[in-house]
Structure 1
Amino acid sequence: MNTITKLLVCLILSITISKLQAQTKDLDSIRKEKVDYKIVKLEEERSQIEEQEKGALKLKIQKINARLDADEITAAEAENLKKEAAKIAVLNIENRTVIIDKQIALLRRNGYDAYQYRRDDDEKVELNIGSNGLHINIGSEEKAPKYDLRTTNKMLFAIGFNNTIIDGENLDDSPYKIGGSGFVELGWLWQTRLFKDSNFMRVNYGFSFQWNKLNMKDNQYFVQTDDVTSLQEFPVDLDKAQFRVTNLVVPMHLEFGPSKKREFKDKIRYTTENQFKFGIGGYGGLRLGTLQKLKYKENGDRVKDKIRKNYNTSNFVYGLSAYVGFDDVSLYVKYDLNPLFKDQAVDQNNISVGLRFDLD
């Protein structure tokens, strides 16, 4: 169990680090795109300065001429006003061009860091992290809303009761304790929306670890004799007899259910928050290990045996599973199509029922 736990922790850390690295790369790409876009806009603004100032000078001259025609000013005064207006226009062109050239040089030299200054009251850099993810807004420009990524990811956690279906026997006759036998599943899933403009149907896939545990009744334990695995009575009273199989599987489910469409300033998101959902599919993978734990007293001493061997358990695991739920919580059922023990006279197949949590 310790080895599997360490492996699981390493895998989850690896995925988390990879995700953070990807987000960092995406953030750098967004920053570069914003800076490049702003440089292009500044260059366009610089190319329009002379035309704008000439247009403003033309309006001033028209007003001066109108005053001259109305005998409000003399011809000499009109000529002086026109020269002053022309001088101001030339200085405006020169100063505005220098300002924009310095802004472009600052951006090219320092990149995104140079964008921390504010050009005016309506233009600033915003970095928001919330329930809807990372949002960056540079400047006052607004992008047209975009549909969210077709693929998102989440963590899977499930826990519940575990037992087996044995040929020719009812579940009530099971040699395993119903209350003491359980399962745990932990994994990482990706969810892909199948249709462009609808999230009613999506597919979930990924990987998960399954720990299926059986607690034996009637002082019995498993004994492997060559290719035969059977339950036998232990020679002394057992305090605990537990049998656990650890699997690594690839689950895949087709999920159905309504979604809410949320429109933001620069994106559109679909959410299944507070919505019903139904998923059906299966899984396949490999057995990682088999362990039997026995606790008992011998000569007054407490003894705990941990026996690791295959006990003829199936190396390949595959089965069917389904869930129905609301929001992040679902009722979850999975059934192994492969027998728990291979090449036995009587097949028994693992079955699990519990709660499933999809943690976005």
Structure 2
Amino acid sequence: MRTGLLWISFITYLLCTAAGFAQEKTNTVDNWKYQDSLSNDKQYPKYYQKKIDDLNSLHQLYESELRTELKEYVEKVNKDLEKGKISADKAQELKRERAAQVAALITSHKKRIEAEKDFVVTEAEKGGSLSISTKGVEISLNGENLQREKKKFIKTQRGFSLSLGYNFLNGDNLGINDFSYPNNNYIAFGPSWLTQLDEKNHIRIRYGIEYQSHGLELNGNRIFTPNTDDTMVAPIGFSVEKAKFRQDQLMVPVHFEFGGTEKREYEDGRVRFTSDNSWKVGIGGFAGLNLSSRLKLKYEENGRDIKQTTINAFENNVFFYGLDAYIGKGNISFFGRMNLNDVFKSGSVDGQYVSFGIRFI
């Protein structure tokens, strides 16, 4: 046991390096508080000093974990020696090898931490800092530094759009009354961007990328016929619990948005516009690509529940386009969307999507 303690003491002596201990200092002129943990005794704003202290703590934890592992390893080797599993020379060799490995790991980690600290010190000495005193907040900038994060104007804002509603096909022989009211649904969502077009932000352009899904169910046990030269509306011939047609699509919507806005000017010079409490109107269009078409049937046959799905077996158009408009206040609006081209190819049933509902932006 005594031999183990001697080894630990010896290893600790090898691993110890000169380091300054952190002491809190106060500049009585401006009431700034610093943690002086640098060997050159320089003082840095608290923002950078915290980064340096965090790096010091990280290395201390790392070194402590390795020292503990080394201690446990030495104890294990000593037990093996006492039990006669290894010779004294072998025990010394094992302990020397592990000690050298630990020393190398700690030295390597120390160099990396010191390099990161040097980078922090360099940034601090450039003059870019954010410090807090009893007098308030002071921002000192050198070059671009924090200026990138605090631009005076931001013309384009990012967001997320979610649309929920009802849809149906409108055509020569199809209308809203041909579809199930509870089982027809529409959903669209995706990232969106809003770019300011005029100085007062009364005119904007909103655009994005959306995934949308149309869900349709004809009433009267009818379906859109799959696996035929032309997709038509036809009776199934038996009673079904569910006969739902769905198309999944990817599209790009673009709108010109008009409405009131509120201008906010901050003390640091930033200017921001917000329309959270203002009415807005959007007019535009969309175009996209059909990803898949499927028909899901659910019915009972001979006492068994049958589920059947037919995928991409319809004469539908791949590309689509249409018009879209919305009106609302803040982040909530009501929308109406209408396709200008037919869902199915020429010769098939005539019909264009009509969708409406509520949109969250």
Aligned residue number for residue 289 of structure 1: 292
The equivalent residue for 1:262 is 264
**Structure 1 residue 224 displacement after superposition:** 2.8
Matches within 5 A, 1:304-343: 304-343=307-346
- The answer as to 2:166 corresponding to 1:161 is yes
Change (3 A) 1:124 1:229: same
Q: Which residue in the other structure is 1:272 paired with?
A: 275
CA displacement at 1:314 relative to structure 2 = 1.1
> For residue 154 of structure 2, what is the aligned residue in structure 1?
149
Q: Give CA-to-partner distance per residue, 1:229-251, whole Å, 9 cap, x none.
A: 12222233100110000110000
1:339 Cα deviation (Å)? 0.5
Question: Structure 1 CA distance, aligned partners of 2:133 and 2:323?
Answer: 60
State how 1:18-57 maps to structure 2 within 5 Å.
none
SS of equivalent to 2:180: coil
Match of 1:232 among 234, 238, 251: 234
Quote the residue 2:121 is aligned against.
110
Distance in 1 of aligned mates of 2:133 and 2:184: 66
Letter in 1 for 2:239: D
TM-superposed CA distance for 1:299, in Å, is 0.9
Aligned in 2, Cα 1:262/1:310: closer, same or farther, shift over 3 Å? farther
Q: Distance in 2 between matches of 1:218 and 1:354?
A: 25
Deviation of residue 302 (structure 1)?
Answer: 0.6
Paired residue secondary structure (1:254): strand
Alignment of 1:52-201 (within 5 A): 110-112=121-123, 121-122=134-135, 137-138=139-140, 147-167=152-172, 170-172=175-177, 174=178, 176-195=179-198, 197-201=199-203
Any conservation in 2 of the 1:157–1:356 contact (CA below 8 Å)? Answer: yes
| Cα distance in structure 1, aligned partners of 2:227 and 2:244 | 19
Residue 121 of structure 2 aligns with an amino acid whose one-letter code is N
Q: Is the 8 A contact 1:334 1:352 kept in 2?
A: yes
**What TM-score, normalized to structure 2?**
0.61
Tell me the residue number matched to 1:242: 244
Q: Does residue 1:344 correspond to 2:344, yes or no?
A: no
User: 1:161 touches 1:179 (CA, 8 Å); kept in 2?
Assistant: no
SS at match of 2:207: strand
Unmatched segments (≥5 aa) in structure 1: 1-98, 126-136
Query: In the aligned structure 2, how far is the partner of 1:304 from the partner of 1:209?
Result: 26
SS across alignment from 2:238:
coil
Counterpart of 1:131? none
- Cα deviation, residue 198, structure 1: 1.1
**Secondary structure at 1:210 match in 2:** strand
Cα RMSD of the aligned pairs, angstroms, is 3.1
Which residue number in structure 2 is paired with residue 216 of structure 1?
Answer: 218
Letter in 2 for 1:171: I
Q: Determine the C-alpha separation between the residues in 2 that align with 1:165 and 1:306.
A: 25
Partners of 1:193 and 1:118 in 2: CA distance:
33
Q: Measure the CA separation in 2 of the matches of 1:188 and 1:117.
A: 33
C-alpha contact (below 8 Å) 2:338/2:353 kept by paired residues: yes
**CA 1:325–1:168 in structure 2 vs 1: closer, same or farther (change >3 Å)?**
same
Distance 2:137 2:312 in 1: 64
Letter of the 1:110 partner, please give it: V
Alpha carbons 1:240, 1:293 under 8 Å: kept: yes
2:228–2:314: 8 Å Cα contact kept in structure 1? no
Q: Could you tell me which residue of structure 1 aligns to residue 357 of structure 2?
A: 354
Distance (Å, rounded) in 2 between the aligned partners of 1:343 and 1:212:
20
> Contact 2:242–2:297 at 8 Å: present in 1 too?
yes
> Deviations for 1:17-57, whole angstroms, at most 9, x for unmatched residues?
xxxxxxxxxxxxxxxxxxxxxxxxxxxxxxxxxxxxxxxxx
Say which SS state the counterpart of residue 110 (structure 1) adopts.
helix
Percent identity, please: 29
Judged with a 3 Å threshold, the aligned counterparts in structure 2 of structure 1 residues 277 and 124 are, in CA distance, closer, same or farther, namely closer
The answer as to whether partners of 2:231 and 2:349 remain within 8 angstroms in 1 is no
Aligned residue type for 2:154:
L
